[in-house]
Amino acid sequence: MPAGFPFHYAMRGFSTPKLSYDSFEFRETVYPSYRTGHHVSPPVEAIVSFNYSSGSCGRRSKASQYLTWNIHIPGPGYHPARKHCPTSPIAHVQIDAALMNMPFGRFVRKSPNVVLHALSTSLELGVPITICVLDQYVAPLMAYSRTASEWQLGDVAYLATRPDGRQEVLHVAHQ
């Protein structure tokens, strides 16, 4: 894992390395937790990538910018020198960039735990995870949430997007 994860450090000229939001990827060994018969699955070489993009997400009708982390397993014919390689995504996490100016964003920049835990949850549940501000677009989902009984607008919501497009609130963190 690179220094500064979930971001990375980059050199700008001859200055000291600075935390960067530029896209990057690195290889990491993933240890799947599933078992086949009496054998534990062997470790798998995975590609972890980060990018900063804009677009819309799920039920949120406003366009937002997202910081996105993905884990991919290289498919047949993979070679590191190729730009476009066949890979299978196994985990996806995106954080609304608006959170980076809040206390939660400072915590994300200082500790890899938020992104690592969200990636592991995405891997375990097999769904993309979106971390965003609990606002008027997310609040209607709270009526169906089994995880958070007390919340307020401005809290941080962890959303899972099911294959059918439905979203579910997995967790709410208070700001």
pLDDT attached to residue 90: 84
Percent of the chain exceeding pLDDT 70 equals: 73
Instruction: Using DSSP bridges, classify how beta strands 87-96 and 129-133 pair: parallel, antiparallel or unpaired.
Output: parallel
> How much is the pLDDT for 60?
45
105 or 5, greater pLDDT: 105
pTM of the model: 0.75
Residue 128 lies in a domain: yes
Tally the domains of the chain. Answer: 1
Domain membership flag for residue 109 = yes
Q: What residues contact residue 81 under an 8 Å CB cut-off, 6+ apart? A: none
For residue 169, is it within any domain?
yes
User: Tokens standing for 34?
Assistant: 């599933």
- Per the model's pLDDT, the better-predicted residue between 126 and 45 turns out to be 126
- Distant-in-sequence, close-in-space partners of 15: CB < 8 Å, separation ≥ 6: none
Domain housing 161: 8-173
Task: Establish if 1 belongs to a structural domain.
Answer: no
> In 148-166, which positions are buried (b, 16+ CB within 10 angstroms) versus exposed (e)?
beebeeebbbbbbbeeeee
Residue 3 lies in a domain: no
Is position 65 within any domain? yes
In sequence order, which residues have a C-beta less than 8 Å from that of residue 141 and are 6 or more positions away?
A: 59, 157, 159, 167, 168, 169
Is 78 a domain residue?
A: yes
Read off the pLDDT of residues 74-90 as tens digits, 9 standing for 90 and up: 766 666 566 556 567 88
Provide the pLDDT for residue 109: 85
Measured CA to CA, the distance from residue 123 to residue 132 in angstroms comes to: 19
Residue 2 domain-assigned (yes or no): no
